[in-house]
Amino acid sequence: MKANSRRDNKLAFDVVADVYDSARPGIPCRLVTSLVRITGLAPGDQVLEVGAGSGQFTRPLRAAGPEVTALEPGDRLRALLAKHAADDPGITVRGGFFEDFTAPDGSFAAVVSANAWQWLDPAVSYRMAADLLLPGGHLALVWNFPIVADPAVQRALNEALADDYPDAVRHPETHLSGIEARAAEGRAELAASGRFEAPWWQFSTDTLTLTPDAYYDLLLSYANVAVLDDSARTNLFLLVRATLEVHGVDTVTMDNVLYAVSARKTDR
Ligand SMILES: C[S@@+](CC[C@H](N)C(=O)[O-])C[C@H]1O[C@@H](n2cnc3c(N)ncnc32)[C@H](O)[C@@H]1O
């Protein structure tokens, strides 16, 4: 994905850490398996994960074999991640921003990230990742983008939310094409770094089935909604609940578009 032009909300997720932990979908095991195969990761290989949150990618990745150093700057998310990983010596939790992370060059077989790479400065992120990688190591990035599967329900939510919560609006007609465009811009940033070979990438879709409350929590877990004050959150909750009730929705089915990209470090 193309890097965000503004990064001032990059720690917003920590404000809603408990909600984030319960509401955000994990990275599906089948996608993790594909990424492990494409990157050639073997059990015991060292992987650096950037922006680990509370472990949405960390845990399935670790289950696939590599040892994971999980970097998360948010204190509350990091505490949840540490709690989830407490029984696993193969996960090392570290604090701080990637831009400040130091380790000897060539420390990792892969640098990976889920839903976080766009928060980094592309002028720094690709170069740093390449330096941290072993020869032949991979940068592997993944994102997910859920949208309400029934376009009529998504449009009704858009109507209710557009004025006060424009960041909660999702357009069924352009959802996939918008993601594809930002993904292509992200691959252009990767290519411009000059440090990686032509990437492999893949789009896929899975389904999320949420209660109305879980759907509201998912909205709340996005950066621009997480920073709202209590009264704005309550108003959002009431609008979502009323709209879903009017449409007789007691289970929110969501199409979850997943995008993964992986590139091997160039030899030089
Ligand atoms: C949308 S969350 C993704 C969390 C989790 N990986 C997931 O897939 O749900 C983005 C994460 O990136 C972290 N983050 C933001 N800026 C960062 C930076 N410069 N370095 C490392 N992590 C960063 C945030 O604290 C947040 O936990």
CATH superfamily of 12-144+172-205+256-264: Vaccinia Virus protein VP39 (3.40.50.150)
Q: What is the mean pLDDT of residues 241-252?
A: 96
In this prediction, residue 8 has a pLDDT band, given cuts at 50, 70 and 90, of confident
Report domain extents, the chain.
12-144+172-205+256-264
**Ligand 1 closest atom vs CA 49:** 6
Residues 37-47: pLDDT tens digits? Answer: 999 999 999 99
Q: Which residue is closest in CA terms to ligand 1's atom 27?
A: 53
Q: What are the helix and strand counts (H, E) for the chain?
A: 11, 7
Please give the distance, rounded to the nearest whole angstrom, from the Cα atom of residue 244 to the centre of ligand 1.
Answer: 30
d(CA 143, CA 55): 14
Per-residue pLDDT at 224: 87
- Is pLDDT at 59 greater than 80 in this prediction? yes
Name the residue with the closest Cα to ligand 1, atom 5.
53
Q: If you average pLDDT over every residue of the chain, what do you get?
A: 96
Element (H, E) at 206: strand 200-210
Instruction: Write down the H helix ranges in the chain.
Output: 12-15, 17-23, 29-39, 58-63, 75-84, 122-132, 151-161, 175-193, 212-220, 223-226, 230-246
CB 80 within 8 A of CB 21: yes
Ligand 1 touching residue 52 (CB < 6 A) = yes
Residue-wise DSSP of 243-259: HHHHTT-SSEEEEEEEE
For residue 228, how far is its CA from the centre of ligand 1 (angstroms)? 19
Is the distance from the beta carbon of residue 119 to the nearest atom of ligand 1 less than 6 Å?
yes
Asked whether 115 lines ligand 1 (CB < 6 A), one says: yes
Say yes or no: CB of residue 201 within 6 Å of ligand 1. Answer: no
* pLDDT above 80 for 232: yes
Q: Ligand 1 in contact with 77 (CB < 6 A)?
A: yes
Distance 231 CA to ligand 1 centre (A): 26
Is residue 216 within 8 Å of 8, Cβ to Cβ?
no
Ligand 1, atom 11: closest residue by C-alpha:
51
How many Cβ atoms sit within 10 Å of the Cβ of residue 106? 13
Question: Is 24 a pocket residue for ligand 1 (Cβ < 6 Å)?
Answer: yes
Q: Encode pLDDT of 68-85 as tens digits.
A: 999 999 999 999 999 999
| pLDDT tens string 120-142 | 999 999 999 999 999 999 999 99
Distance CA 228, CA 52 (A): 23
Q: Is the pLDDT of residue 268 over 80?
A: no
